[in-house]
Every structure is written in structure tokens, then in C-alpha cells.
Amino acid sequence: MKQQATRSSGKHWLTVIALIVIIQAVAAAFFLMDAVLDIAVGVQVMDAFYHGFELLVAIALVAGVVMGMLVLRRLIAEAKQRERTMALARGALAAIVEQRFAEWGLTEAESEVALFAVKGYGIAEIARLRDAATGTVRAQLSRIYVKAGVTSQAMLIGGLIDEFIDVVPVREPKSKPVQMSRSA
């Protein structure tokens, strides 16, 4: 549900940005056309500075619109790339979860309970979602923990995500700090 909210929120902002760029484009076209027509009609020397400045402002607005469109295009491309990356990661995680559950020899019911446990649900929530008694879920979790070789929900999660985390072991410093002794 959180993923859907994030995706729809992202699409909302892209829509807002696109609307702003469209409004800027219309305004830029209006001001550019106005400035060009004013200069084309012929202006007096006093008005020339004003109309020249108006033309520069219109050109700057057009440049801003172009930059906004380029940024919007880049943001859309990045969002699509992130979505593709997340889909690949979700697929890889699902494959590893299925593989681990098969390695552990979990039944279909145990796999479902284990998946809820990995997602962080408690016993009562799992029981409610599966329309089962809490005692049944407790018993299933106990069998899952034994089959997985763990003793807790946290260890179950850790066993599944272990392949995704590349941890560098903590090393001792190469040289020991020098301790100064005070001589009296």
C-alpha cells in the first residue's frame, strides 16, 4: 500500500510540474509575441528600451520553459529507471524467498505464514489475515523456525536478506595507538 501511495504521489508531482511547464510555455509565447509585435509596429526611442527589455524577459522565460521541459523529461526518465530497478529487486527478492522456503521444506501454509512473518506481521495479525487460530499460527511459526534453523522472527528475516547485504568485516587498526606513560 505504501508503494502505491509513493507511486501515485510521484505521478501527482510530475503532473503538477507538467502543468506548470505548460502554463509557462503559454505565458512565454504570449510575452514573446507581444514583444515582437511591439517592436515590429515601430516604437519611439523612449519605448525602444522598454520593448527591448520586454523581449529579453520573454526570451528568458522561453529559456526557462525549455529548461523546465528538459528537467521534467529527465525526472520522468529517472522515475521510470527507478521503477524498473525496483521491479527487478522485488523479483530477485521473491525468487530468493521462494528458493529459501523450498530449501527449508516449508509447506504451502508454512510458506504463507513465513512470508507474513518476514513482512513484520505479528501472530495475531497473521491469524486474522489467514482466518486461522493464533495457536495454529504459533505452531506453524515454531515449525518454520526449526526448519529454517533460527529461533526468532528477526533471525528468519536475517536469513532471507543475508544474500543482499555485503558486509565488510570490522578489522582491527593496523597500528595500535601509542600510550604515553608519565615518568615522575
Q: Report the alpha-carbon distance of residue 3 to residue 5 in Å, rounded.
A: 5
Q: What is the pLDDT of residue 181?
A: 58
Q: What is the pLDDT of residue 149?
A: 92
Residue 100 dihedral angles phi and psi, to the nearest 5°: -60, -45
- Can you tell me the mean pLDDT for 64-88? 89
In a domain, 157, yes or no: yes
Q: What is the pLDDT of residue 10?
A: 66
- Residue with the bigger pLDDT between 142 and 28: it is 142
pLDDT above 80 for 170: no
In a domain, 72, yes or no: yes
Q: Report the alpha-carbon distance of residue 79 to residue 42 in Å, rounded.
A: 49
- Can you tell me the mean pLDDT for 167-179? 62
- Can you tell me the mean pLDDT for 60-78? 87
Give the best-scoring range by mean pLDDT among 35-39, 70-74, 121-125, 177-181: 121-125
Phi-psi region of 44 (alpha: psi -120 to 50; beta: other; left: phi over 0): beta
Query: At 141, which CATH number?
Result: 1.10.10.10
- Can you tell me the mean pLDDT for 7-23? 78
Q: Report the alpha-carbon distance of residue 24 to residue 69 in Å, rounded.
A: 10
* Cβ-contact 106, 144 below 8 angstroms: yes
- Between helix 108-118 and helix 123-130 the angle, nearest 10°, is 130
Reported as a pLDDT band with limits 50, 70 and 90, residue 2 is very low
Phi-psi region of 150 (alpha: psi -120 to 50; beta: other; left: phi over 0): beta
pLDDT above 70 for 154: yes
- Residue with the bigger pLDDT between 127 and 161: it is 127
Tell which of 89, 120, 138 closes a domain.
Answer: 89
Question: Any idea what the Cα angle at residue 119 is, between residues 117 and 121, rounded to 5°?
Answer: 55
pLDDT above 70 for 89: yes
Reported as a pLDDT band with limits 50, 70 and 90, residue 183 is low
Domain match, 140 and 76 both:
no
The count of structural domains within the chain is 2
Q: What is the pLDDT of residue 15?
A: 84
pLDDT above 50 for 169: yes
Domain match, 82 and 9 both:
yes
CA 56 and chain centroid, separation:
40
- Can you tell me the mean pLDDT for 88-112? 91
Which residue segment(s) compose the domain that 119 sits in?
A: 105-164
In a domain, 176, yes or no: no
Domain match, 29 and 84 both:
yes
Q: Report CA torsion sign: 60, 65, 68, 69.
A: negative
Tell which of 65, 89, 113 closes a domain.
Answer: 89
pLDDT above 70 for 58: yes
